[in-house]
Structure 1
Amino acid sequence: MSNSEELVALVALLRYGSFRTSQMALRQRLIDGDSPTLILAEDSNSRLIYDRAVRDVDQWITSGEHPLSWLDSDYPQQLREVHDFPPVIFVRGKLVQPDNGICIVGSRKAGQAALEAAAQIAQLVVDKNWTVVSGLAEGIDTAAHAETLNRGGRTVAVIGNGIDYYFPPQNRGLQHAIEDRGLVISQFWPGTSPKKYSFPMRNAVMSAYARATIIVSAKEHSGTRHQAKQAAAHGRPLVVSRAVYENTTWARKLVDDPNVLARVAYSTEESVSLAMEMATFTISDLALL
């Protein structure tokens, strides 16, 4: 079967078939080497849901919502490295392989000092010719994306809604700019509005796409903690600012865990240098830092 037929079969399974509420079992079968068309053949409604998926994929491609499956050669390699990879993603912009990125995240309601720190970190990442990854949310994410574009760097936005949906609405222009000069990724079907549960799911993809995560600002119950925990689960390096370490129990727990690649940075320069160093380190190497 061609990759396009396998993509359609995968969409049918995820959107209309028995795996629409549970992707874990489907991921395992893909890892084991079963093709989507083979798995779909086990469904008694395979022909019907395949035809529905054909219409979906044709419409998405016509509308410029480019779908990629785990089987496609253009599918980002770093997403293949994690256990909870999204079987299908949608992209707008330029795919680059490899794409070494640092994720910069933090509070949506960050103060001016934190916003300036995020911009400084983004500038330092761009100066090293790395990609800035973030989630296109208000606050820290917006500051990181905007500064990267201002500096002529590459930025990747991983969003928690359909790729044709703009959230927050005031970032529509920024999202278009990233599509033109970087890359926007979504794991959600086109037309999907943001939900409370979709942002932790987005964080998993954001953590996986980046080689390391820097948390600039966050509070105890901030949604950013999901990003930190996902980075730890993926074995990705995590750097937190001094304020985040001192003011949240989850950051202290992660940094103090010898089995987690996590460190505290006391300056913007240190946050970037630590993130890039740890991106090539293993747990046993941490004692050298």
Structure 2
Amino acid sequence: MLYWIWLTQIPFIGPIAARKLIEYFENAENVYKAKEKYLEKIPGLSIKQKKNVIEFRSLKEAERILENCEKQSIDILCWQDERYPTRAKEPKDAPVILYYKGHFKEIERTIGIVGARRCSQQDKHRAVNIASECVEKGITVISGMAKGIDSYAHTACLNAGGYTIAIMGNGLDICYPSEHYQLMKEIEDKGLLLSEYPPGTLPTKYTFPRRNRLISSWSDKLFVIGAGKGSGALITVDYSKKYARKVYW
């Protein structure tokens, strides 16, 4: 797993470039050991990206991250793992590794539920009803564990005995928002916590939009509830449209 972590820590090597390297060399260890003459043959990578693969050939940071994962009971899902859903791997910018806590189960159908952090009682009831109906139909509920609609959807799913996935914009050793600590523990116990960020990564205005694209890619459909102008949920909508997912308001 060290080589997979290493690949994601190379400067200027994002998910798209990492995926090109994996597709060419078959796995992360082969990328690490690749000679420069073979790297030069890969189309679609800049000179700087190819240079960085060579210059940042050290496993020290990957070893530190893996050690932190082991201390925090965080597991790692890599690109070639059969548990990585096909739907989530379709977009070109899908991460080659994801950090997770909880347990995987066979996922046949998924629905993303996102919306306003400050919402009306009517919107709250709608989120609860949709999540509850998903459980009755055996559909996995996906959201971002944010305040408001996200948390209501997760909670309703858990209360109904369903399976929910929370995709987070920070390392899984951090609970954000902090008041959702108990919810986070319940999702870990009964569902799945996911993040593309290693432990210790703080939430920022940059990590949340990246998180939102994963909510879209992991969901077959997206329900948007009470999201007004400027809401982060609209970023999720844009990604859902980009990934050809149906969006319901």
Q: TM-score range by the shorter chain?
A: 0.7 to 0.9
Moved segments of 4+, more than 3 Å? 31-34, 42-47
Change (3 A) 1:46 1:219: closer
Equivalent positions of 1:152-231 (< 5 A) are 152-231=161-240
Instruction: Say if 1:77 and 1:98, in contact at 8 Å, map to a contact too.
Output: no
SS in 2 for 1:213: strand
Aligned partners of 1:19 and 1:26 also within 8 Å:
no
Instruction: Give the corresponding residue for 2:20.
Output: 28
Match for 1:65 among 67, 74, 77? 74
Cα separation, 1, equivalents of 2:172 and 2:239: 22
Superposed displacement of residue 19, structure 1: 4.1
Of 4, 10, 20, which residue of structure 1 is paired with 2:4? 10
Amino acid at match of 2:6: A
Residues 15 and 94 of structure 2 are in contact (CA less than 8 Å); yes or no, is this contact kept in structure 1? no
* Coordinate RMSD, CA, aligned: 1.7
Q: Paired residue for 1:98?
A: 107
> Contact 2:68–2:199 (CA<8 Å) still a contact in 1?
no
TM-score by length of 1: 0.75
> Could you tell me how far 1:36 is from its partner in structure 2?
1.5
Distance across 2 between alignment mates of 1:13 and 1:140: 35
In structure 1, the residue matched to 2:29 is 37
SS for the counterpart of 1:91 is strand
The one of 107, 110, 130 equivalent to 2:116 is 107
**% identical aligned pairs:** 30
The alpha-carbon deviation at position 176 of structure 1 amounts to: 0.4
Partner Cα distance (2:130, 2:81) in 1: 33
Alignment partner, residue 4 of structure 1? none
Query: How far off is 1:45 after superposition?
Result: 4.7
TM-score, normalised relative to structure 2: 0.86
1-side partners of 2:136 and 2:235: how far apart?
A: 28
Deviation track 1:27-75 (CA, whole Å, cap 9, x = no partner) reads 222234542222223544565x224313421331242011111122332
What CA distance in whole angstroms lies between the structure 2 residues aligned with 1:150 and 1:45? 50
In 2, Cα distance between equivalents of 1:164 and 1:149: 21
Matched with 1:80 is 89
Q: Partner letter of residue 7 of structure 2?
A: L
Bigger relative CO (Cα 8 Å, ≥ 6 apart): 2
Q: Distance in 2 between matches of 1:98 and 1:128?
A: 12
| C-alpha distance in structure 2 between counterparts of 1:160 and 1:238, whole Å | 22
On the 8 A contact 2:65/2:198 being kept in 1, the answer is no
For residues 3 and 60 of structure 2, the distance between their equivalents in structure 1, rounded to whole angstroms, comes to 9
Aligned length: 231
SS for the counterpart of 2:91 is coil
Unmatched runs of 5 consecutive residues or more in structure 2: 35-52
Task: Supply the distance in 2 between the matched residues of 1:83 and 1:226 (Cα, whole angstroms).
Answer: 17
1:119 offset after TM fit, Å?
0.6
2:237 pairs with 1:233? no
